[in-house]
Amino acid sequence: MAKVKGSIVVDIEKCKGCELCVYACPTQVIAMSPDVNVKGYHYAEDVNPDACTGCTNCAVVCPDGVITVYRMKV
């Protein structure tokens, strides 16, 4: 059966570090980076990219629209 894999791209400089995406992700792909962006916010990053299914939940709850989601069948 074809498996779906996803990938996210975070616009780091626009992320405000609210962490909503971390809790919205059903497969625990996202965590906050220990580094900060130019505004001083810890930004979201995909620490577990292999688990991403491209469900778009993180992007849908992001108040700042910083997450872009890609998905393909493998």
Partner 1 sequence: MSDNITKGKMIKPENLVYTKSRVMTDNVTSYCPGCGHGTAHRIIAEVIEEMDIQSEIIGVAPVGCSVLMYDFLDLDIQQAAHGRAPAVATAIKRLMPEKFVFTYQDDGDLAAIGTAETIHACNRGENIMIVFINNGIYGMTGGQMAPTTLEGMKSSTSPYGRDVATMGNPLKMTDIVATLPGTYYVTRQSVQKPANVRKTKKAIRKALEYQKLNRGTCFIEIVSNCPSGWKMTPVESNKWMEDTMFPYYPLGDFKVPEED
Binding residues for partner 1, rule: CB under 8 A, are 3, 5-7, 9, 14, 16-20, 23-24, 41, 49-50, 54, 56-57, 59-72, 74
Quick one: 19 or 47, whose CB is closer to partner 1?
A: 19
What is the H or E stretch that residue 45 is in? strand 42-46
**How near is the Cβ of 12 to partner 1 at its closest, in Å?**
12
Contacting residues for 2 by C-beta, under 8 A, at least 6 apart: 73, 74
Q: How far is the CB of 35 from partner 1 (least distance, A)?
A: 16
Give the Cα separation of 24 and 9 in Å (integer): 16
DSSP conformational letter for 47 = S
> Closest approach of Cβ 50 to partner 1, in Å?
6
